[in-house]
Chain A
Amino acid sequence: MTNIERKENQIMEEIKNRVRTILTDGSLDYKQKKHHLAYIAESTQSYPEVSAEAMTALNEKVICDLFEGSAPYRPRYILPDYKLALKKGVKYLELDPPTDLDEAINFLSILYAHVPSITGYSVYLGNIDQLLLPFTGDLSEEAITKKLKLFWRYIDRTLPDAFVHANIGPEDNVIARTILRIERELKQVVPNLTLKYDTDITSDDLLIEAAQTVFEVAKPHIANHKMTAADFKSDYGVVSCYNSLPQGGGSHTLIRLNLKKITDSHQGNAEAFISETLPKYCQITLDIIEARIKYLVETVNYFQNDFLAQEGIISLENFSAMFGFYGLAECVNQLMASSGHNYCYGKHEEANQLAHRILEEMKKQVDSRPLPYCEANNGKAFFHAQSGIDIDIEETAGARIPIGEEPDIYAHINTVAPHHHLFNGGISDIFHFDETIKRNPSAILDIIKGAFKKGMRMFTFNLSDSEFIRITGYLVRRSDLKDFREEGSRYGSALFAANSMDNADVDKRIAKRIDSHERTAGQY
């Protein structure tokens, strides 16, 4: 045997072992196994061509591709233009335009099953109330409720992943209200939900309904509609883990930079960090993004072959990529400590100022780097504060204040609000309240309105003692976590949550966290 043959044999053996581990893992169901097997097959391909330095950064998790795999054959986030599909029908699936609510729900149910994503489940279900309203005709509220309930059950049982995300609002309407009611009743993890809120459009009543729903199931998440809409050429959706992206398009990829790790290896002061280390790693991250986009568009030819693109339900012009980061808090605190100051992000103005400068610099780097096939954002990537996943043991999600160190609600908002405008790709913060607020939901309205007035883009809130736990970006049920530890769960996201609960100080704030198949695939 030559050396090369020996090496190939060795690789083959490794693959066989990995496959076997999955096949015999009793906590995975059939579909989950299939998904992981595909990930292994993909990993046999060499990574899109990037520099040796970039490859090292990836291997050392200084830069993280969130288990997208080494050979991107579908965009990470796809937001089909469901409105257009409902209007034109879908030839590939032999679906005619629906004429009533039953047909519309059936149409969407079928289409969802065919939308590619990293997790295998569509990350976006559409602005569901706007999609279905035209079909309500003279149906009674009771009839609508019955149909939507079945629809919601279908979604939870066939797309069992907490990255699956539906939007409602900003208008108050019967579908939006019914969905909130159903959410409170069914208490499902899926779908994740965002209410687009606009002070001038959304009624206080609907916002109160939403707040009461949050008390029960820790969703919806509230998005500042005016602010977000202004960042997009046409409609947008909030998908997956609070990513805001263009409808009829999406994001080819999301690559995130670990700010803590680049601070660990940084020699020198904060000034040198901002002028040298940070720009250097931003550019490497952008190099990786570029290589992955080219692979997807030019090598795989995704946009020529997929039916969604062929039928105009998505189009390449509506795509861009996402530049993400995490661990801002650790980065700032370490830079402060190395300059001899005991200032902490979220607590001291000096640290908050430094955080702001770091974010501004990253934004500048992202905005000045042209990327191919990113027309949706004029040839640039969307800037995103990534909410974190289960393997982030030492790093705080995106630009959040570390769990357990959050200051009072006003100081919290005043710390994070000034940078929310930078994140056209989305950001989220989590506020915590105790149970007494349930008796006084209008208090939540005051805080939501105040937060948006201060320039916040998106946020959500957690109640102590809730059955639903929201940790980074997703939801999980406390009981599912327990069950998962014992015998596995129907939800891919429960594994992520179990890992997260173990890794982060999550219990400190009695909040919630979740995983997706991205993670589970990555570990085999």
Chain B
Amino acid sequence: MSELQANISGIIKSSVIDGPGNRMVIFFQACNLNCLYCHNSHTIGLCNLCGLCVQNCPTQSLKIDASNKQIIHNASTCTHCDNCLKNCPENSSPFYKKMTVEHLISEIEEVKDFISGITVSGGEVMLQSEFLKQLFISIKTHPELNHLSILVDSNGNIDENRWNQVLDWVDGFMLDIKAYSSDVHKKITGHTNEKILNSIRYLDSKNKLSELRLVLVPGYNNSKEEIETISGFMQSLSPEVRKVLIKLRKHGIREKYHYLSEPTQLDIAQAVEILESDKHKLLVI
């Protein structure tokens, strides 16, 4: 089992914005949605070794390692120009690494005294649910790590059987509702949302949904009807679920989607007016 590997696009050892307390965040590569406003679009795809980034790197910091099916990155010559990320046809990156459960555990051990827990994020982490299950069991049965809480940041576009694989080991899931109407959802993410709505309901029924977030995208999901249906859906969930309204920020999104606009104060105020109720407080960030 321990031979299992996951594609890890990055690790942040101290984050104060990925759940309660100081947390280590592990980012997984590959996603099954393609949101217009994705801020980490290079984590969407998997690398197919096309070699384009290798040819275009201005500092020759990349090399294809054909035998190991990976790209070797020379960090000492890289100037972080991000050319490779911007031009990858697969929305991927030459930087992500294959890591084993043991490897991740040793990274967590290093910072265990300073964190409340870990958060796995992506990409879409649940695509690697078998690996996650092993990772989570290793944490929760580890004498020095079992106090750590485990949060999963997911897009929810996942079948029920995958949730069941990890449910017992996870303290909370943080999901997005990107739209309620399937059409709008398709416009924003390229996919419909039946599975996502089911996931939200399912995790809430298991008392494992800790946070539900809505990114407000003017011209897409901020019509009165759309917000009202989202609001109705939110109110049907337990009051304990933390509801968060996130303003779309253009920083870091792909150039071809720069036509998107950030919500105005008024857009936010109108959405808050509809979404918030006595029982369901809304955090705006």
Contacts and interface: CB of A to CB of B under 8 A. Distances in A.
Chains A and B come from one and the same complex: yes
Interface of A: 408-410, 413, 433, 436-437, 439-440, 442-447, 449-451, 453-454
A446 B148 CA distance: 11
Given A408-B13, A408-B14, A440 B20 contact: yes
A413 B110 CA distance: 12
A408 B12 CA distance: 11
20 contacts: A408-B14, A410-B110, A410-B111, A410-B114, A433-B16, A436-B16, A439-B17, A439-B285, A440-B21, A443-B20, A443-B21, A443-B116, A446-B21, A446-B22, A447-B14, A447-B22, A447-B114, A449-B113, A453-B113, A454-B113
Given A408-B13, A442-B21, 19 more contacts: A408-B14, A410-B14, A410-B110, A410-B114, A436-B17, A440-B16, A440-B17, A440-B20, A442-B116, A443-B16, A443-B20, A443-B116, A446-B21, A446-B22, A446-B116, A447-B22, A450-B114, A450-B115, A451-B114
Contact of B13 (A410, A433, A445, A453): A410
Q: Is the interface of A mostly helix, strand, loop or mixed?
A: helix
Query: Chain B: interface residue count, which band?
Result: 10 to 19
Contacts of B17: 436, 439-440
Nearest to B117: A446
Contacts of B116: 442-443, 446
A442 B20 contact: yes
A439 B20 CA distance: 9
Interface string B242-285: 00000000000000000000000000000000000000000001
Interface string B201-219: 0000000000000000000
Interface in B25-71: none
Interface in B107-145: 110-111, 113-116
Contacts of B113: 449-450, 453-454
Contacts of B20: 440, 442-443
Contacts of B110: 410
Contacts of A410: 13-14, 110-111, 114
Contacts of A433: 16
Contacts of B16: 433, 436-437, 439-440, 443
Q: 5 closest Cβ contacts across the A-B interface?
A: A450-B114, A446-B22, A443-B22, A443-B16, A450-B113
A443 B20 CA distance: 7
A439 B16 CA distance: 8
Contacts of B114: 409-410, 413, 446-447, 449-451
Nearest to B283: A439
B14 A409 contact: yes
A98 B17 CA distance: 49
A100 B21 CA distance: 41
A87 B21 CA distance: 43
A338 B14 CA distance: 36
Contacts of A440: 16-17, 20-21
Nearest to B116: A446
A443 B111 CA distance: 13
A480 to B, nearest CB: 29
A436 B12 CA distance: 15
Contact of A445 (B14, B21, B23, B111): B21
B147 to A, nearest CB: 11
Determine which residue in A409, A443, A450 has the highest number of CB atoms from chain B within 10 A of its CB, and name it.
Answer: A443
A408 B11 CA distance: 14
Contacts of B21: 440, 442-443, 445-446
Contacts of A446: 21-22, 114-116
A438 B21 CA distance: 11
- Of B16, B113, B116, chain A has the most CB atoms within 10 Å of the CB of B16
Contacts of B13: 408, 410
B172 to A, nearest CB: 15
Contacts of B14: 408-410, 447
B282 to A, nearest CB: 14
* Most chain B CB inside 10 Å of its own CB: which residue of A409, A446, A453: A446
B28 to A, nearest CB: 22
B31 to A, nearest CB: 24
A447 B115 CA distance: 7
Contacts of A450: 22, 113-115
B149 to A, nearest CB: 11
Nearest to A437: B16
Contacts of B115: 446, 450
A408 B15 CA distance: 12
A418 to B, nearest CB: 14
Nearest to A434: B16
A449 B23 CA distance: 14
Contacts of A445: 21
Contacts of B285: 439
Contacts of A442: 20-22, 116
Contacts of A409: 14, 114
Nearest to B285: A439
A423 to B, nearest CB: 21
A417 to B, nearest CB: 11
B243 to A, nearest CB: 15
Nearest to B113: A450
A456 to B, nearest CB: 11
